[in-house]
Structure 1
Amino acid sequence: MSDRESNRADPLERQKSEHRALALLRLLGREASYMSNEEIVDCHFANLGLACPRAQVRECLAMLERAGLIELSMAETLTVIRLTAKGDEVGQGLVVVEGVLRPGVDCPY
């Protein structure tokens, strides 16, 4: 494999990343406080068949924060995640953002 090929994102991994991003936004949208934490998100991904290393969970959180879809804060050593209004719109499919799967009519998340 050449260096160029090894630097390309795996298409399947990219798809799973987009699913994780949507699953997280939808999870937060169902929470009464529109908040959760990294531990719960990690378990949620595993329950949906989207398990990944903790580093990938953090990459997902960072990407969503950069896009203005979530806000992150710390409670001691735990990362707390809060959904923004824009993040709720993306989770509902009203706004499309690169890196987040747009939910279908029968979205399982």
Structure 2
Amino acid sequence: MTDFPANRSDPLAELKSEHRTLAVLRMLQREPSYMSNEEIVSSYFGLVGLACSREQTTACLAVLERTGLIEASTVEKLTVIRLTAKGEEVAKGLVVVEGVLRPGVDGPY
């Protein structure tokens, strides 16, 4: 297995992270309310071959919130997320944001 310098993360982990952020945005875009929750997101990752730990799911949502692509709130220990207008533009490929995979023409999500 290849060792990576301390200041550089695993390229495969970065790629999966970019796929996860796009998958969340596209999933929210298809929801009638543009909303979901962390448990649904975690299950969705498993369905589309991006299964990960709770910590990675939480980190993914934190990145999206920090960049203004989603809004998150806590309701009885459950994180509820809502797509923002900027998040929808990124999901459509109209805006490019670092850390989010740009959707392809025939994207799987």
Q: Please give the TM-score of this superposition, normalised by the length of structure 1.
A: 0.94
In the alignment, the residues of structure 1 paired with residue 79 and residue 8 of structure 2 have an alpha-carbon distance, to the nearest angstrom, of 30
Query: What residue in structure 2 maps to residue 23 of structure 1?
Result: 23
SS at match of 1:5: coil
Could you tell me which amino acid in structure 2 is paired with residue 51 of structure 1?
A: A
Unaligned runs of 5+ in 2: none
Match for residue 38 of structure 2?
A: 38
Moved over 3 A (4+): none
Aligned pair count? Answer: 107
Q: Counterpart of 1:104?
A: 104
Write the distance in 2 (CA, Å) between the matches of 1:51 and 1:9: 19
Partners of 1:49 and 1:68 lie apart in 2 by 26
How far the C-alpha of 1:7 sits from its partner, in A, is: 4.3
Deviations 1:30-51 (A, max 9, x none): 0000000000000000111101
What is the correspondence of 1:52-91 to structure 2 with a 5 Å cutoff? 52-91=52-91
d(CA) in 2 for partners of 1:57 and 1:84? Answer: 19
Partners of 2:4 and 2:96 lie apart in 1 by: 30
Q: Report deviation, 1:8.
A: 2.0
Superposition deviation, residue 4 in structure 1: 7.0
Unaligned runs of at least 5 residues, structure 1: none
| Identity value in percent | 69
The question of 1:48 aligning with 2:48 is answered yes
- Supply the AA of the counterpart residue of 1:93: G
Q: Deviations over 1:11-38 (max 9, x none)?
A: 0000000000000000000000000000
